[in-house]
Structure 1
Amino acid sequence: MPSHTLLEASASSVDPPAQELLVLWQHPLSREILPVGRLSFNGTTYGFDYTVAASRIEGFRALSGLGMLGQHTDSALLPAIFRQRVMEPTRPDFAAYVGTLGLSAADATPWEQILESGGGRAGDTLQFMEMPVVRGGYARARFFANGVRHIPGHVAVIAGHTLVTSEENHEHALQSLAPGDIVSVVAEEANKVDSQAALVTASGTPIGWVPRLLAPAFRRLLSSRPVELSVVRRNGPESPSHLRLVLELNAAAPSGFTFDPAGDWNAI
């Protein structure tokens, strides 16, 4: 479990919880993060479906307790493979832990714990992301900033200019953020790991990346207009780096825009 550093929560944390999450799986060889399932919750029943992407992964094996690919699963309880990522309220450190997620002990349901923590565990291959949507002409996505610990010393090329961020400047930029603050997304050029990389910057200082799964969609948005994100939560420096910053996109979407043009996230 993450350390118990207090999270700052914005007003958006009182919004109704998301009803569907993408289940992400890290390929053991390529280390690529792939969307293999869709986990939903309607208030009483959990539903799970494998995605088209899962059916395209050579050698991918069905997740424990969730049937075969193409089989829909319903359950009154959070499936056991996901329940392992939830802390029981009987634990003495329960209130402190859910506090790091911006939740109170009274209303920290299993679903909200997974939503707010991303469900990741050290050495594990699974994590979760709120399902990005396009609704009413607006693109909305909510996610953790990726690669935060890799920013210090990283050589970034932005609009033809090379920028190297020191650890001190990086931490100062993070610590200066508060819920509701606006940060920018910029296309990173010549990234050797991801040709579609999209950096998140605060007042010009790189602080992390848009998740690689979403980067192509953000690059399409950037091709027509600037893209900004609002800070939902900012965690302290003692917390795990993958939980440092929760961001939200709520921007006008170009006609025909979709986060998943190939249909990889569709259920099979």
Structure 2
Amino acid sequence: MTAPPPVRPPAEPATEKATGTPGRKPPSRLLAPLRQTGQLFALALAVARAIFRRPFQVREFIEQFWFVASVTILPAALVSIPFGAVIALQVGSLTEQLGAQSFTGGASVLAVIQQASPLIVALLIAGAAGSAICADLGSRKIREELDAMEVMGVSPVQRLVVPRVLATMFVAVLLNGLVSVVGTLGGYFFNVIMQGGTPGAYLASFSALAQLPDLYVGELKALIFGFIAGIVAAYRGLNPRGGPKGVGDAVNQSVVITFMLLFAVNMVLTAIYLQIVPPKGG
């Protein structure tokens, strides 16, 4: 008697071949943004803890501080002039229509100090220094330098990320003062020269409406914005996808993500400040 032919198992469905595991669906892409957000916050907490650990990389911090300052100080000073001029011209035209020209200086200076100056500094740091930080860390990652550091027991976060984040924070605070002064002078010049404003009224309205907490909140915003720019650049640099092309994509993503976070955080900080600190004379 001849043996019966062997029974062949049924063919696997296409979905099972694609996933490699029968009956399991592929992971949803909707969870990827949540996972990346959690990883970003985890890196921020790790950097915050590593700041107070020893040894501190003083030389690396000084080098990164000088690099960030050198690539942002001149653009920040140049960009602050037209920003201050535009704000002063716009506010001056509105106050002239309302018959309140005496408040032009105070309104324009407050807008520069509280809103324009921290955002200008943070955007320049994210675009110039943050992109370079992301590219540097990404190139180290694809060359497996960071893996070699972990094998030797050296933390890449403490050795590389912390000095860069601190550099962006300190440079942001210092540049914020420079941009505030230059922007205020630019607004003063254009208001007095082009709109026929009086220097005394400009300065009197500024001293009547402005107060020290306005300067403090500008510096606090600059500090937070510098931290955000450094953290996002470091996160995208530590997690590139693919080879050199992935590093380039990570640089673009770091700049875009930083811009979105800056405007959202600025709105929250402004709302909190206006609720806590009453206006001068209120």
> How high is the TM-score relative to the length of structure 2?
0.21
> How high is the TM-score relative to the length of structure 1?
0.22
Larger Rg: 2
Higher strand proportion, which one? 1
Higher helix proportion, which one? 2
